[in-house]
């Protein structure tokens, strides 16, 4: 079965705190892709990152960083020094192999950053 679990439904932090959003996935495929998307209050879905199953290097982009660990089937997302503009729903998603790029989404984590 293919599945993505985001166990944290809602997280509330104060500005400048670091916060980690957890993502655990299930797939029997050896080739797959993992994604994070951001959905701000305006409602659109914004692509943040794509990671393929053969690349376990951590990635950093400004205040954002991602930790991919195949051993624990996790692809966690950390925001350093959070800001109010980071308030959004964040989705982790999985694309198994097969050529169609179908996304399997987690339920999402709602992050509220308070001033």
Partner 1 sequence: DADVTQTPRNRITKTGKRIMLECSQTKGHDRMYWYRQDPGLGLRLIYYSFDVKDINKGEISDGYSVSRQAQAKFSLSLESAIPNQTALYFCATSASYGAAFFGQGTRLTVV
CA dihedral (113, 85, 36, 75) positive or negative: negative
The answer to whether residues 66 and 58 touch, using CB atoms and an 8 Å cutoff, is yes
Which residue of 1, 41, 44, 71 would you call a contact of partner 1, by CB under 8 A?
44
Half-sphere exposure of 11 (CA within 13 A, CB side): 25
Residue 27 near partner 1 by CB under 8 A: no
- Which DSSP symbol is given to 101? -
User: Segment near partner 1 (CB under 8 A), from 19-27, 58-66, 72-80, 92-100?
Assistant: 92-100
The answer to whether residues 65 and 78 touch, using CB atoms and an 8 Å cutoff, is yes
Residue 115 near partner 1 by CB under 8 A: no
Q: How far is the CB of 49 from partner 1 (least distance, A)?
A: 9
The residues that touch partner 1, with contacts defined as CB under 8 A, are 4, 6, 9, 33, 35, 37, 43-45, 47, 50, 52, 91, 93, 95, 99-108
């Amino acid at each position: 079965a293919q599945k993505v679990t985001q166990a944290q439904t809602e997280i509330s932090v104060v500005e400048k705190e670091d916060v980690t959003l957890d993502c655990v996935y299930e797939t029997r495929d050896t080739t797959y892709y993992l994604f994070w998307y951001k959905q701000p209050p305006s409602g659109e879905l914004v692509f943040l990152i794509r990671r393929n199953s053969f690349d376990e290097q951590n990635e950093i982009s400004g205040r954002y960083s991602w930790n991919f660990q195949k051993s624990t089937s996790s692809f966690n997302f950390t925001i350093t020094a959070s800001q109010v503009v980071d308030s959004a729903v964040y989705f982790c998603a999985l694309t198994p192999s097969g050529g169609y790029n179908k996304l399997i989404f987690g339920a999402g984590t709602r992050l509220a950053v308070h001033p």
